Chains A and B, each alone.
Chain A
Amino acid sequence: SQQGEEDPQALSIQEGENATMNCSYKTSINNLQWYRQNSGRGLVHLILIRSNEREKHSGRLRVTLDTSKKSSSLLITASRAADTASYFCPKTSGSRLTFGEGTQLTVNP
């Protein structure tokens, strides 16, 4: 299965605002995962949503999945400066992950 590309490429918001980023994919999936990478650091797994789920929450994160549109969105509520990072929904082929450019989120204090 494959997953997709992140949109927008860059997003700049004020602290306290919500941030929404999107992911589109082309073929059927078993699950879709979101990861975060702070500058110069490793990737942190944020959330995994299975193909039979439509929405999932984890703290300030909300992920939706629309399999009919082959898209997912990641919402970060009440953003903080520490949320500044790149966010990815990597393609999955077997167990290998293929990362795109991601969405670079900047949260301004």
Chain B
Amino acid sequence: EPEVTQTPSHQVTQMGQEVILRCVPISNHLYFYWYRQILGQKVEFLVSFYNNEISEKSEIFDDQFSVERPDGSNFTLKIRSTKLEDSAMYFCASMRGYSNQPQHFGDGTRLSIL
């Protein structure tokens, strides 16, 4: 069964550094998402992406964050200047269509900011 894959599984970065989290969504899916989960807290929506542009973003997704689908298969989340509070699990998800479709999640990237 097709899966959403995320790399790396764990990323350790110094505060202030840029980090790029990578995702390969399921190949025939059209909608792409990033969520994050701070340890012990709820899963939070960050951004949705469709037709090569952001369709919705949350208040968490500020100017430090950006997303890109650079080559038609990868979907990336960039954090430009990381803060300690960016430490979390970051989940990518994809969805085939808009109506009555489930989102398929990757196993996440654990981001640790030192």
Contacts and interface: CB of A to CB of B under 8 A. Distances in A.
- The answer to whether A binds B is yes
Interface of A: 30-31, 33, 37, 40-45, 48, 50, 88, 94-101
Contact of A48 (B56, B98, B100, B108): B100
Give the bracket for the number of chain B residues in contact with chain A: 20 to 34
A95 B43 contact: no
Interface string B77-108: 00000000000010101010011111111111
B45 A96 contact: yes
Given A41-B107, A94-B56, A48 B45 contact: no
B105 A95 contact: no
A104 to B, nearest CB: 12
A13 B102 CA distance: 28
Nearest to B46: A96
Chain A interface main SS type: strand
A31 B108 contact: no
Nearest to A101: B42
Given A42-B107, A97-B33, 5 more contacts: A44-B105, A45-B105, A48-B101, A94-B55, A97-B35
Interface in B22-39: 31, 33, 35
B105 A43 contact: yes
Given A42-B91, A43-B91, A100-B42, A95 B48 contact: yes
A10 to B, nearest CB: 15
A40 B102 CA distance: 21
